[in-house]
Structure 1
Amino acid sequence: MEKIQCQGCGVVIQTTDKEKIGYTPPSALEKETVLCQRCFRLKHYNETQDVPMTDDDFLKMVSSISDSKGLIVHIIDIFDVNGSLIKSLPRITGDNPIILVGNKLDLLPKSTSENKLIQWLKKEAKEAGIKVQDVFLISSMKKTGIDELKQKIEDYRNGKDVYIVGTTNVGKSTFINALIKESTGYSDVITTSYFPGTTLGFIQIPLDEHSSLIDTPGIVNKQQMAHYLSPEDLKIITPRKEIKSRVYQLNNQQTLFFGGLARLDFIKGERQSFICYFSNELEIHRTKVEKADALYEKHNGELLSPPNEDSLKILPPLTQHSFKLSGGKTDIVFPGLGWVTVTGDETTVIAYSPKDVAVSVRNSLI
């Protein structure tokens, strides 16, 4: 049988084993658009199913780019820079030129300075050892910045292939759909969803007679919160519109819970503002440090939600990270969840996050 690829995720279609990737019923081959069963369920029922591919499988597949010649477009999630910037990118892509694209601009407060954000992203990339040709800010959902980026990609690629690279759930497929619609008028060419790991193989979209736009599988970063949550909880923590900052005036020895997924204890310092940037759907609860353990033990998964029952089965236990902050506004970042801006000097906090989801600090983004 002639090899057929799923038009949603790029995997090779097979009709013999329902348990393996790429399965579709034989009758589906007669349709104009052929989707594997996984993509069909994702597209029509918003259901996901486990994929028997390891993290190494994804990484090995994407690493083949280093043997090719083309432009690398690295898509990152502006709301989760720490979790979506691929620090091993030069090793994966070789000597190919890289442009960095910050997606989901529409989620940040309108007061955010785009120039400041671009300079900050350049600095973050440089510190990660990634040499970028340029940095762009876009919103795939709102189509903001797509026209300019499309023109810049054309300028930078010099007639060569364009590889779209990123971690899972940064909006690569949504970006490509927006790019294709701008160019051809076709909609929803690539399967998109809330769920990590939608694209299973390279998907090639012709740009001209000799080159293609190539969507690659998302690289799995286990430091992202998304990999430890049920689909229902993932929808709650994934912002869908501009995030509204929530400000808490705290005395030391007070605690903030972000659902039951993370916690921040204010240990030492003057009374000050803690500015929280999380999905508007995520509930934040305040209590005293002395009562925090008991509250978590009694109400995690109920009052402190998410996690729901399904997430509790896979969510690692919370581990703590202590930080002494000084020198102005600082962000405490929970990868894949959000961040808290601390405004005071000489401040000590303890941050709790699921094991392997490493909390970090940075100069204030906003």
Structure 2
Amino acid sequence: MSDAEFEAAVSALDPELRVLLEGEAALDEEGGIASKDSDVQIINEEEEKKLDVCHRCYALKHYNHITTETSPAFLRATQQYGSLEFLKTKRNPLIVAVLDVIDLPFSLGSQLPELIRQNPSARIMIAANKFDMLPQRARRHEQRIRDWIVQHLKQHGFPTQQIRGVTLVSAKKGWGVLGLLRRIDEERLPTDDIYLVGCTNVGKSALLNQIMSQRASKSKRQQYQITSSAVPGTTMGTLRIPLHALHMGTPQQAGGKRRFLEREHYLIDTPGAVNDQQLIHLMSFKEQKKLMRHAELKPVTFRLEAGRSLLLDSFARIDVVESSDPVLFTLFTPMIPHITKTLKMMDQEGPLQPIPQLLSVRGVHNSRASVDLAFASIGWIAVAGMFDNARLRVWLPPNVNPVEAFAIRQPAMLPFEYQGVTRKFFGSGNRARQ
């Protein structure tokens, strides 16, 4: 049919049938087909005005200052908490799960694995953010890290058969973003929206801005710029960016005329799921900003014998209760460590409480870590050594759940980062000497 014949045939149809043919178009007051889709916003760039920015976003963007609370209770009250429930009923959704590669399994959260299990048709793309924070030596082994991530997700009940790919990215430096977009383009169907999900502080908004900077025009970047900061829960609502702004829309046939009104499709940034067991929520805003500065982790190894303790400020402590040989702790954390005698700590009342059970750890080699001791949002400690069986006591703040704020990771994520340089405790002074 010619275009004129097609339009004549459509005009002769019942108005309700015309609405079905035209996708999500609505009837106008006279019973005809409305010319605008409720989900589509036509932007005239010549008439585009500066976007209004709220006081909170302005303070975060220009002064790195927070005007609201950052507590989990506040975030739950203001965010669309639980909004990921809609993923249960979506048919064959394409989900980009953003994880913090230095905060696993805690950046995975508990809500997403359950939702994915309840929707077996969901297709998952894993974006492991903050790859730039891993030591340079470790970044050479990308495939080993990707394999470890998949194995770790499987251990925590994530349905790995639904994973379509794992991409290591850095939202700060732009590493891996184009590779992620290429994989999304290969996986995406013409009818797909793309859902960006993850916990607070994994860097979803920063990743979205990086995608905009690499795919969108200057006018579109200004139009859809997202406020990103180190504050937990910066994104407080669902954000929708049309895929055509990212050159990811359905391509039109060259020289052809679109006869049906197609629904616009979006890249949807959802509010971060709140994990209230992350230790960052116990910090002041000043401490949060300091912790969230993106810098490469510099692993340092301490050699502790029985009767020694390692502290990470007022958020974690590990006592070496028993060990046949020295235990090597390699720290992957921005927190400043403090080494002291366990007896000295027993004489002082501190803000931490011990986990009831002692940890039993076995060493396999001085230069290979057997397990990781991971703490929510502040990094991890790799344990190595030539001991048969060491018993450790872990201390955490009293107002967190040890099961959700602390994890033993086996195998270790970066087992070979020990480089033969240790720092050993000497004497009764609270210092570590090389």
Same fold (TM over 0.5): yes
One-letter amino acid of the structure 1 residue matched with residue 238 of structure 2: F
Q: What amino acid is the match of 1:233?
A: E
1:356 and 2:424 equivalent? no
In structure 1, what is the Cα distance between the partners aligned to 2:174 and 2:278? 25
* AA of the residue aligned to 2:125: I
- Greater displacement, 161-170 / 133-142: 133-142
Cα distance in structure 2, aligned partners of 1:318 and 1:233: 21
Given that residues 351 and 359 in structure 1 are in contact (C-alpha distance below 8 angstroms), is that contact kept between their aligned partners in structure 2?
A: no
The question of whether the paired residues in 1 share the 8 Å contact of 2:76 and 2:274 is answered with: no
TM-score (norm 2): 0.68
Q: 1:296: Cα distance to partner?
A: 6.0
Residue of structure 2 in register with 1:318 after alignment? 353
Look up the SS of the partner of 2:320 in the other structure. Answer: strand
Number of the residue aligned with 1:303: none
Distance in 1, matches of 2:319 and 2:114, equals: 38
Deviation of 1:322 after TM superposition, in Å, equals 2.3
Q: What is aligned with 2:193?
A: 161
- The equivalences for 1:214-225 within 5 A come to 214-225=268-279
Pick one of 276, 279, 288 that aligns with 1:234. 288
* Matched-pair contact (CA < 8 Å) for 2:75–2:274: no
Partner of 2:336: 283
Match of 1:41 in 2: 59
Q: 1:76 to 1:265 in 2, by over 3 A?
A: same
* Correspondence for 2:131 among 105, 116, 119: 105
Paired residue secondary structure (1:54): helix
Q: Secondary structure at the match of 1:222?
A: coil
Which consecutive segments of 4 or more residues in structure 1 shift more than 4 A? 185-188
1:221-258 CA distances to partner (integer Å, 9 max, x unpaired)? Answer: 11211211111111233352111011111111100111
Mapped to 1, the partners of 2:50 and 2:88 lie a distance apart of 34
Aligned residue type for 1:194: A
What residue ranges of structure 1 are gaps of 5+ in the alignment? 1-29, 301-316
SS in structure 2 of the partner of residue 204 of structure 1: strand
> What letter matches 1:130 in structure 2?
F
Q: Work out the percentage of aligned pairs sharing the same amino acid.
A: 30
Instruction: Give the one of 325, 333, 342 matched to 2:374.
Output: 333
Which structure would you say has the larger Rg? 2
Q: How far did residue 263 of structure 1 move?
A: 0.6
CA RMSD of aligned residues (A): 2.2
Gaps of 5+ in 2: 1-47, 250-263, 365-369, 415-434
Distance 1:173 1:61 in 2: 17
User: Residues 55 and 155 (structure 1 numbering): CA distance in 2 closer, same or farther, change over 3 Å?
Assistant: farther
Pair 1:180–1:237, CA change in 2 (3 A)? same
For residues 109 and 312 of structure 2, the distance between their equivalents in structure 1, rounded to whole angstroms, comes to 26
Mapped to 2, the partners of 1:75 and 1:224 lie a distance apart of 17
CA contact (8 A) 2:363 2:383 kept: no
Task: Tell me by how many angstroms 1:205 deviates.
Answer: 0.6
Amino acid at match of 1:46: N
Q: 2:371 and 2:153 mapped to 1: Cα distance?
A: 19
1:46-125 equivalence runs, <5 A: 46-48=64-66, 49-50=68-69, 52=74, 54=76, 58-69=80-91, 70-92=93-115, 94=119, 95-112=121-138, 113-125=141-153
Equivalent AA in structure 2 for residue 72 of structure 1:
I
What TM-score do you get using the length of structure 1 for normalisation?
Answer: 0.81
* Cα distance in 1 for residues equivalent to 2:210 and 2:133: 17
Change (3 A) 1:196 1:276: same
Instruction: Identify the residue that residue 211 of structure 2 maps to in structure 1.
Output: 179
- 1:257 pairs with 308, 311, 317, which one? 311
**Structure 2 CA distance for partners of 1:60 and 1:360, relative to 1, 3 Å:** closer
TM superposition shift of 1:90: 4.6
After superposition, the C-alpha distances for 1:100-146 in whole angstroms (9 at most, x for unaligned) are: 11100010111222211111111122222323222111111111101
After superposition, where does 1:294-305 map in structure 2 within 5 Å? 294=347, 297=350
Aligned twin of 1:304? none
Q: Secondary structure at the match of 1:195?
A: coil
2:10 counterpart residue number: none
Deviation at residue 62 of structure 1 after TM alignment:
2.3
Distance in 1 between the 2:346 and 2:78 partners?
Answer: 37
Structure 1, 121-130 or 140-149: larger mean CA deviation = 121-130
Deviation at 1:196, TM superposition (A): 0.7
2:176 is equivalent to residue 145 of structure 1: yes
Letter in 1 for 2:107: S
